[in-house]
Structure 1
């Protein structure tokens, strides 16, 4: 199966415009949520 330039461009747009921003929001939000929950369970750092 050979992909065309149009298909490659559409795939690039899908990844660059939708997938990467969505993944970055999910990763940063997940990290923040994890830190928030750990601080509720174990207290603030340095206490």
Structure 2
């Protein structure tokens, strides 16, 4: 029974390490690029329809 618990612990540690690597290497950078790019796109579209910021005419 103790061998089975140890095997489960090792498996969960490996799965946790793979999940951590996936999150830090792929997920967070992709989310950062998507959020910054999306914000830039929204600002660009606002400038297209509203006009650039500046003093009122």
Larger relative contact order (Cα-Cα within 8 Å, sequence gap ≥ 6): 1
Give 2:44's aligned residue.
36
Note if 1:21 corresponds to 2:29. Answer: yes
How many residue pairs get matched? Answer: 46
Deviations 1:7-46 (A, max 9, x none): 0000000100000000000000000000000000000011
CA distance in 1, matches of 2:37, 2:26: 17
Query: TM-score, normalised to structure 2's length?
Result: 0.74
The answer for unaligned runs of 5 or more in structure 1 is none
Query: TM-score, normalised to structure 1's length?
Result: 0.89
Which structure: greater helix fraction? 2
